[in-house]
Amino acid sequence: MFYDAAKTKKKLRAKRERELAKKIKKLPSERYGVIYADPEWRWEPWSRETGMDRSADNHYPTSPIENIKARDVPSIMAPDCMLFMWATPPMLDQAIEVLKHWGFGYVTNAVWVKPSIGTGYWFRFRHEHLLLGKRGTVPCPAPGEQWESVIEQPRGKHSEKPELVAELIEHYFPNLPKIELNARRRREGWTSWGPDLPEE
Protein backbone atom coordinates (compact mmCIF):
# COMPACT_ATOMS: atom_id res chain seq x y z
CA MET A 1 0.00 0.00 0.00
CA PHE A 2 2.80 2.44 0.96
CA TYR A 3 4.69 1.53 -2.22
CA ASP A 4 1.63 2.32 -4.39
CA ALA A 5 1.17 5.72 -2.71
CA ALA A 6 4.85 6.60 -3.20
CA LYS A 7 4.71 5.49 -6.84
CA THR A 8 1.59 7.62 -7.43
CA LYS A 9 3.23 10.68 -5.83
CA LYS A 10 6.35 10.18 -7.95
CA LYS A 11 4.26 10.06 -11.17
CA LEU A 12 2.24 13.11 -10.11
CA ARG A 13 5.40 15.09 -9.32
CA ALA A 14 6.97 14.14 -12.69
CA LYS A 15 3.77 15.28 -14.46
CA ARG A 16 3.82 18.63 -12.59
CA GLU A 17 7.47 19.20 -13.51
CA ARG A 18 6.76 18.47 -17.21
CA GLU A 19 3.72 20.80 -17.22
CA LEU A 20 5.75 23.58 -15.58
CA ALA A 21 8.49 23.14 -18.21
CA LYS A 22 5.92 23.53 -21.03
CA LYS A 23 4.51 26.65 -19.37
CA ILE A 24 7.97 28.25 -19.02
CA LYS A 25 8.97 27.40 -22.60
CA LYS A 26 5.84 29.22 -23.87
CA LEU A 27 6.85 32.54 -22.25
CA PRO A 28 7.44 35.32 -24.82
CA SER A 29 11.12 35.78 -23.95
CA GLU A 30 13.64 33.19 -22.80
CA ARG A 31 13.17 32.44 -19.13
CA TYR A 32 14.59 29.72 -16.92
CA GLY A 33 13.00 27.45 -14.35
CA VAL A 34 16.38 26.65 -12.78
CA ILE A 35 19.26 29.04 -12.17
CA TYR A 36 22.54 27.53 -10.96
CA ALA A 37 24.89 30.25 -9.72
CA ASP A 38 28.43 30.38 -8.39
CA PRO A 39 28.97 34.11 -7.75
CA GLU A 40 32.50 35.48 -7.65
CA TRP A 41 32.28 36.52 -3.98
CA ARG A 42 34.79 39.12 -2.82
CA TRP A 43 35.94 38.05 0.61
CA GLU A 44 37.90 40.72 2.42
CA PRO A 45 40.80 39.47 4.58
CA TRP A 46 41.45 41.12 7.91
CA SER A 47 44.48 42.77 6.38
CA ARG A 48 45.08 43.43 2.68
CA GLU A 49 48.80 43.61 3.51
CA THR A 50 49.09 40.13 5.03
CA GLY A 51 45.97 38.21 3.98
CA MET A 52 45.84 38.52 0.20
CA ASP A 53 47.80 35.28 -0.29
CA ARG A 54 44.55 33.47 0.55
CA SER A 55 42.27 35.65 -1.55
CA ALA A 56 40.19 34.36 -4.45
CA ASP A 57 41.40 37.47 -6.33
CA ASN A 58 44.66 35.58 -6.91
CA HIS A 59 42.76 33.09 -9.08
CA TYR A 60 39.95 35.06 -10.77
CA PRO A 61 38.32 38.52 -10.63
CA THR A 62 35.87 38.91 -7.75
CA SER A 63 33.01 41.38 -7.35
CA PRO A 64 31.59 43.33 -4.42
CA ILE A 65 28.13 42.26 -3.27
CA GLU A 66 26.54 45.39 -4.78
CA ASN A 67 27.64 44.29 -8.27
CA ILE A 68 26.36 40.74 -7.75
CA LYS A 69 23.01 42.01 -6.45
CA ALA A 70 22.72 44.39 -9.43
CA ARG A 71 22.91 41.51 -11.94
CA ASP A 72 19.60 41.41 -13.80
CA VAL A 73 18.72 37.87 -12.77
CA PRO A 74 14.98 38.70 -12.40
CA SER A 75 14.80 39.32 -16.16
CA ILE A 76 15.79 35.72 -16.96
CA MET A 77 13.85 33.80 -14.33
CA ALA A 78 10.42 32.34 -14.89
CA PRO A 79 7.58 33.20 -12.47
CA ASP A 80 8.11 29.70 -11.04
CA CYS A 81 11.85 29.18 -10.60
CA MET A 82 14.49 27.51 -8.42
CA LEU A 83 17.90 28.93 -7.56
CA PHE A 84 20.85 26.73 -6.59
CA MET A 85 23.60 29.08 -5.37
CA TRP A 86 27.05 28.42 -3.92
CA ALA A 87 28.31 30.30 -0.86
CA THR A 88 31.48 29.92 1.16
CA PRO A 89 30.96 29.97 4.96
CA PRO A 90 32.20 33.58 5.47
CA MET A 91 29.86 34.80 2.69
CA LEU A 92 26.71 33.01 3.86
CA ASP A 93 24.98 36.15 5.14
CA GLN A 94 25.72 38.06 1.91
CA ALA A 95 24.62 35.09 -0.21
CA ILE A 96 21.20 34.97 1.46
CA GLU A 97 20.95 38.75 0.94
CA VAL A 98 21.66 38.28 -2.79
CA LEU A 99 19.21 35.35 -3.03
CA LYS A 100 16.43 37.54 -1.59
CA HIS A 101 17.40 40.60 -3.66
CA TRP A 102 17.10 38.53 -6.83
CA GLY A 103 13.52 37.65 -5.83
CA PHE A 104 13.84 34.20 -4.23
CA GLY A 105 12.80 32.97 -0.82
CA TYR A 106 15.35 30.89 1.05
CA VAL A 107 14.26 27.24 1.30
CA THR A 108 17.17 25.15 2.58
CA ASN A 109 20.79 24.24 1.91
CA ALA A 110 23.16 21.36 1.37
CA VAL A 111 26.88 21.22 2.09
CA TRP A 112 29.76 20.07 -0.04
CA VAL A 113 32.31 18.35 2.21
CA LYS A 114 35.81 18.23 0.76
CA PRO A 115 38.47 15.66 1.67
CA SER A 116 41.08 18.27 2.68
CA ILE A 117 41.02 21.52 4.63
CA GLY A 118 41.30 24.99 3.18
CA THR A 119 41.85 28.41 4.71
CA GLY A 120 39.97 30.26 7.43
CA TYR A 121 40.40 32.43 10.51
CA TRP A 122 38.09 30.75 13.01
CA PHE A 123 37.90 27.33 11.33
CA ARG A 124 39.84 25.74 8.49
CA PHE A 125 37.02 25.13 6.02
CA ARG A 126 36.27 21.77 4.47
CA HIS A 127 32.81 22.70 3.24
CA GLU A 128 30.77 25.09 1.11
CA HIS A 129 27.05 25.78 1.21
CA LEU A 130 24.70 25.13 -1.68
CA LEU A 131 21.70 27.39 -1.01
CA LEU A 132 18.29 26.61 -2.44
CA GLY A 133 15.91 29.46 -3.20
CA LYS A 134 12.42 29.34 -4.66
CA ARG A 135 10.12 31.73 -6.47
CA GLY A 136 6.51 30.84 -7.19
CA THR A 137 5.33 27.23 -7.21
CA VAL A 138 7.85 24.56 -8.14
CA PRO A 139 7.27 20.91 -7.20
CA CYS A 140 9.75 19.50 -4.70
CA PRO A 141 11.02 15.94 -5.30
CA ALA A 142 8.59 13.09 -4.69
CA PRO A 143 8.96 11.32 -1.33
CA GLY A 144 11.96 9.02 -1.41
CA GLU A 145 13.48 10.85 -4.40
CA GLN A 146 15.35 13.50 -2.35
CA TRP A 147 19.14 13.38 -2.36
CA GLU A 148 21.17 13.66 0.84
CA SER A 149 22.09 17.14 2.06
CA VAL A 150 25.78 16.23 2.43
CA ILE A 151 27.74 16.02 -0.82
CA GLU A 152 31.12 14.36 -0.35
CA GLN A 153 33.22 14.95 -3.44
CA PRO A 154 36.90 15.72 -4.09
CA ARG A 155 38.16 19.19 -4.93
CA GLY A 156 38.82 20.12 -8.55
CA LYS A 157 40.54 23.25 -9.86
CA HIS A 158 40.25 26.41 -7.77
CA SER A 159 36.54 27.24 -7.23
CA GLU A 160 35.42 24.37 -9.49
CA LYS A 161 32.27 22.72 -8.15
CA PRO A 162 31.46 19.00 -8.16
CA GLU A 163 29.73 17.70 -11.28
CA LEU A 164 27.43 15.72 -9.01
CA VAL A 165 25.46 18.91 -8.28
CA ALA A 166 24.59 19.44 -11.96
CA GLU A 167 23.49 15.79 -12.03
CA LEU A 168 21.31 16.43 -8.96
CA ILE A 169 19.68 19.43 -10.67
CA GLU A 170 19.05 17.43 -13.84
CA HIS A 171 17.59 14.57 -11.78
CA TYR A 172 15.22 16.92 -9.93
CA PHE A 173 14.29 19.00 -13.00
CA PRO A 174 14.91 17.06 -16.24
CA ASN A 175 12.55 19.24 -18.29
CA LEU A 176 12.82 22.77 -16.89
CA PRO A 177 14.96 25.23 -18.88
CA LYS A 178 18.26 25.69 -17.01
CA ILE A 179 21.02 28.31 -16.97
CA GLU A 180 24.38 28.22 -15.21
CA LEU A 181 25.87 31.58 -14.15
CA ASN A 182 29.67 31.83 -13.83
CA ALA A 183 29.91 28.55 -15.71
CA ARG A 184 33.32 27.15 -16.56
CA ARG A 185 32.08 24.69 -19.17
CA ARG A 186 29.06 24.17 -21.38
CA ARG A 187 26.45 21.56 -20.50
CA GLU A 188 24.21 19.85 -23.00
CA GLY A 189 20.67 21.19 -22.74
CA TRP A 190 21.67 24.18 -20.56
CA THR A 191 22.39 27.82 -21.29
CA SER A 192 25.78 28.84 -19.89
CA TRP A 193 27.11 32.29 -18.99
CA GLY A 194 30.43 33.28 -17.47
CA PRO A 195 33.72 35.11 -18.09
CA ASP A 196 35.69 31.83 -17.90
CA LEU A 197 33.51 30.05 -20.44
CA PRO A 198 35.48 28.73 -23.46
CA GLU A 199 34.52 30.05 -26.89
CA GLU A 200 32.09 27.87 -28.87
Give CA separation, 185 vs 40, 190, 194, in Å: 16, 11, 9
Do the Cβ atoms of 134 and 172 come closer than 8 Å? no
Q: How far is the C-alpha of 75 from the C-alpha of 58, rounded, in Å?
A: 31
pLDDT score recorded for residue 52: 47
- Identify the band that residue 197 occupies on the pLDDT scale cut at 50, 70 and 90: confident
Q: What average pLDDT does the segment 72-95 reach?
A: 96
Tell me the pLDDT tens digit for each residue of 136-157: 999 999 999 999 999 999 887 7
pLDDT score recorded for residue 56: 47
Fold of 2-43+61-193: Rossmann fold (3.40.50)
- Identify the band that residue 200 occupies on the pLDDT scale cut at 50, 70 and 90: low
Tell me the pLDDT tens digit for each residue of 151-180: 999 887 767 899 999 999 999 999 999 999
